[in-house]
Amino acid sequence: MLYTLVYYRLVSVDKSGKFTYSKVVEVVLNKQGILSLYPNPAKNVLNVSIANSTKEIAVVQVIDLLGKVVKQQTVQLIAGNNNVSIAIENLAKGSYFIKVNGQSTLQKQFIKL
């Protein structure tokens, strides 16, 4: 599996100029697949393009900003490029996330017009 290891630390500065640092957090960025959405913003149909390195079954979810899954479908992915169309005409206008759960998890935000 390909991955990138990234370390983050936050610094906060109060009104007097005093610095406070958070603990260091390790984040693994998985390069198992690449997710693209188009068009974005979208009105009726959102096209989801998944470049995947393995054949697998994955679950594609549309999630609102409150974290509620508002649409879900299971897809068979091949090693290579995969295209999935999702009908979104019945969703309310606003921001949503597409989440692809397979051997890895991919997520991107989109806007429904």
In this predicted structure, what is the pLDDT of residue 52? 82
Residues 6+ apart with CB under 8 A from 44: 87, 88, 89
Q: Is the pTM of this model over 0.85?
A: no
Per-residue pLDDT band for 32 (boundaries 50, 70, 90) equals low
Order across the sheet with 69-77: list the strands: 69-77, 56-64, 94-101, 105-112
94-101 and 80-87 strand pairing = unpaired
State percent of the chain over pLDDT 90. 68
Q: pLDDT tens for residues 45-56?
A: 999 999 887 899
Q: How far apart are CA 15 and CA 19, in angstroms?
A: 10
Per the structure block, which two tokens stand in for 106?
Answer: 């991919």
In this predicted structure, what is the pLDDT of residue 2? 47
In this predicted structure, what is the pLDDT of residue 1? 43
E strand intervals along 1-113: 3-8, 11-13, 19-21, 25-30, 33-38, 45-52, 56-64, 69-77, 80-87, 94-101, 105-112
* CATH 2.60.40.10 matches 33-112: no
